[in-house]
Amino acid sequence: MNVTGHTRRQPSIRDVATAAGVSHQTVSRVINNHPSVKSATRERVNRAIEELGFRRSATALALASGRNRSVTVLTANTTHHGYASVLQGVEEAARKAAYAVGISVLESADEQTVSAAVQRAGDSVGGLIVIAYDPAGVAALAAADPDVPVVGVVETPSQEPPHDRPWVWTDDRRAAYEATGHLLSLGHRSVHYVAIPSGTHRVSARTAGWQQALEDAGAAVPEVVHEGWGPQSGYAAGSRLARDPDVTAVLCGNDDLAIGVMRALHEAGRSVPGDVSVVGFDDAPHSAFVTPSLTTVRLDFSGLGRSAFDLLHGLLATSTPVQYHSAAVPELVVRESSAPPRHP
C-alpha cells in the first residue's frame, strides 16, 4: 500500500537498493532476471520494489544500454484503411514484445520534409518501419540513416538502392492480375484501371499486374487513370469514365476509389454491375455492406504490420543484417459489383 499522497520523484534503483539493504547493481540484476542472485536476496529486493512502487525508467535504460525498445512507423497517412491496419499490426506485435511504438507522418514527399521526419524519428528510436507504398514513403526509405535498422513495407520488392533494406510486401502484382482476370473471365473485353499514386518511378506492381493480365488475354490496354487516394478522387475518375460507352469494367487501386467510381457511374445513370463492373482493392470493412457490395481483393495488412515488426525485432535483437522478406497472399473476394457485361 502506497499512500504517499503527493507527487514525488519516482524511486530509482538506488532507493530500492537502500531499502533492501543491497547494492544498486544487485537491484539491476533482479530486474533483469540475472541468474546469479540468491533467491532470498531476490525476494527481499522484489519486496522493496513492490513497496516503493519502483518502475524502471525506459529512458535511462535506453541511454545506458544503447538498446532502445521502441520502433517508429513512418507513414503518409493514418486514416486510410490499409495504412491504419498496418499500423495496428505493428502495434500489436510491438506490444507483445514490450516495445513502444511511435508514429510520424510524412506530410509530403519533398526532400526537406522527408529528411526532417527521418531525422527526428531516427533520433530517439531503435528502429524504423517505413510504409513505402507512396512517393513520400519511398523517399523516406531512401533517406533513412544507414545506421538505423529499417524495414520497409513495400509494394514492389527491388534490390535497387531505394529498397536496399529488409522489407515485407503483399503480392500486389499477382492480386491485380487475378482481379483483372476475374473481370475478363466474366466476358469483359477490357478493363480500365484507376490507379492510386505510385511510389516508384516505374509502373507500380498493381498496374503491372493489371497490364500483364490484359496482355496475356490479348485484350486492349487502356490508358491508366491517375488519381489520388480518396473517394472524391474516384468520383472524379468515374465521372470521366462514365462518358465512355466502351468502359464496362473498372479496377480501382483501393476501395474508397471504387466507391467514388460507383457513385459517379450511378449519377451518370450507368448501373453497377449492369452496365459497368467495378472491382476495388484492400477489402475495407464497409466494402461488404455498400450497395452494390464491392468485389475486391483482400489484403492482410495487419499481418503485414506484424511481420514488419517481427522482422525489425529480429534485426534489433541479433543485429544480423540479413535480408529476410515476407509476403502475404492476397485473396479475391467476389461480391455484387462485378458481373458479366450486358452486351457481350
Q: Which is nearest to 288 in space by CA: 235, 237, 334?
A: 334
Binds DNA by CB under 7 A, chosen from 57, 108, 124, 185: 57
Lookup: cell for 231: 473517394
The values of phi and psi at residue 297, to 5°, are -110, 120
Q: Rounded to the nearest 10 degrees, how much is the dihedral formed by the CA atoms of 247, 251, 255, 256?
A: -50
Interface with DNA, residue 78, by CB under 7 A: no
160 binds, among DNA, its own copies, none (CB under 5 to 8 A by kind): none
End-to-end alpha carbon distance in the chain: 78
Strand runs labelled E in 213-307:
225-226, 249-252, 277-279, 296-298
**x/- string (CB under 7 A) for DNA, residues 10-39?**
x-xxx------xxxxxx-xx-xx--xxxx-
Helix pair angle (81-96, 301-318), 10° resolution:
40
- Exposure string over 50-85, b if 16+ CB within 10 A, otherwise e: eebebebeeeeebeeeeebbbbbbbbbbeebbbbbb
**Minimum distance from residue 291 beta carbon to DNA (Å):** 57
**Member of 18, 46, 51, 56 binding DNA (CB under 7 A):** 56
Please answer whether residues 3 and 44 qualify as being in contact, where contact means their C-beta atoms are separated by less than 8 angstroms.
no
Residue 87, C-alpha cell as written in the block:
499500423
Does residue 323 belong to the site contacting its own copies (CB under 8 A)?
no
19, 48, 52, 54: which one binds DNA (CB under 7 A): 54
CA atoms within 13 A on the CB side of 15: 13
Does 48 contact DNA by CB under 7 A? no
The smaller minimum CB distance to DNA, of residues 29 and 165, is found at 29
Q: Which does 97 bind (CB under 5 to 8 A by kind): its own copies, DNA, none?
A: none
Nearer to DNA, 53 or 274 (CB): 53
User: CA 333, CA 179: separation in Å to the nearest integer?
Assistant: 9
**Out of 15, 31, 44, 102, the residue judged to bind its own copies by CB under 8 A:** 102
Q: Residue 55 interacts with its own copies (CB under 8 A)? A: yes
Q: At closest approach, how far in Å is the CB of 253 from its own copies? A: 15
Strands 296-298 and 331-333: antiparallel
Contact with its own copies (CB under 8 A) among 291, 318, 320, 344? 291
Taking the C-alpha atoms of residue 76 and residue 72, their distance in angstroms, rounded to an integer, is 13
Closest approach, Cβ 85 to its own copies, in A, equals 6
User: Do 252 and 281 meet the contact criterion of CB atoms below 8 Å apart?
Assistant: yes
202 binds, among its own copies, DNA, none (CB under 5 to 8 A by kind): none
Q: Identify which of residues 103 and 221 has a Cβ nearer to its own copies in the complex.
A: 103
Three-state secondary-structure class, residue 170? strand
- Give the nearest distance from C-beta 40 to its own copies in angstroms: 27
Is 268 among the residues that bind its own copies (CB under 8 A)? Answer: no
**28 contacts which partner out of its own copies, DNA, none, CB within 5 to 8 A by kind?**
DNA
Binding site for DNA (CB under 7 A): 9-10, 12-14, 21-26, 28-29, 31-32, 35-38, 40-42, 54-57, 60-61, 63-65
Binding site for its own copies (CB under 8 A): 7, 10, 55-60, 62-63, 68, 70, 72, 77-79, 81, 84-85, 87-88, 91-92, 95, 98, 100-105, 107, 117, 119-121, 123-124, 146-147, 230-232, 234-235, 256, 259-260, 262-263, 266, 285-286, 288-291, 293
